[in-house]
Chains A and B, each alone.
Chain A
Amino acid sequence: MKCLGLKVLLILLMFGIDARAGDRITIAAASDLRYALNDIVSLFQQQYPSAGIDVIFGSSGKITTQIVNGAPYDIFFSADVEFPKRLHRDGLTATEPSVYAIGRIVLWSKRHNASVMTLHDLVDPSIRRIAIAQPMHAPYGQRAKEALMAVGIWNDIQSKLVFAENIASAAQMTESEAADAGIIALSLALFPDLARHGYHLIDDALHQPLTQGYVITKYGKDNSLAHEFARFMTQEAAITIMEHYGFVLPGRHP
Chain B
Amino acid sequence: MFNLAPSDIIAIQLTLKLGLYTTCILLVIGTPLAWWLANGRSSLRIAVQSVVALPLVLPPTVLGFYLLLLLGPRGWVGSTLEAMGFTHLAFTFTGILIGSVFYSMPFAIQPLYQAFSSLGRRHVEVAASLGAGPIDRFFTVILPLTRGGFIVAATLSFAHTLGEFGAILMIGGSIPGRTKVLSVLIYDHAEAMNYAGAHKLSILLLSIAFIVLFIVYAVNRRFDSIRP
Contacts and interface: CB of A to CB of B under 8 A. Distances in A.
Contacts of B87: 16, 18
A7 B73 contact: no
B28 A18 contact: no
A69 B90 contact: yes
A70 interface: yes
A8 B29 CA distance: 11
B56 interface: no
Interface in A1-52: 3-4, 7-8, 11, 14-18, 26, 31, 34
B175 A56 contact: yes
Contact of A4 (B27, B72, B89, B177): B27
Nearest to A19: B178
Interface stretch (B102-110, B126-134, B190-198): B190-198
Interface stretch (A122-130, A151-159, A168-176, A237-245): A168-176
A54 B175 contact: yes
Contact of A175 (B24, B25, B92, B193): B193
Contacts of A171: 193
B91 A72 contact: yes
A149 interface: no
B2 interface: no
A7 B24 contact: yes
Nearest to A38: B192
Contacts of A57: 188, 191
A40 B21 CA distance: 37
A70 B78 CA distance: 10
Interface of A: 3-4, 7-8, 11, 14-18, 26, 31, 34, 54, 56-58, 66, 69-72, 166, 168-169, 171-172, 175, 193-194
Give the 8 A-B residue pairs with the shortest CB-CB distance, closest first: A16-B86, A69-B72, A70-B73, A18-B87, A7-B24, A71-B91, A54-B176, A70-B90
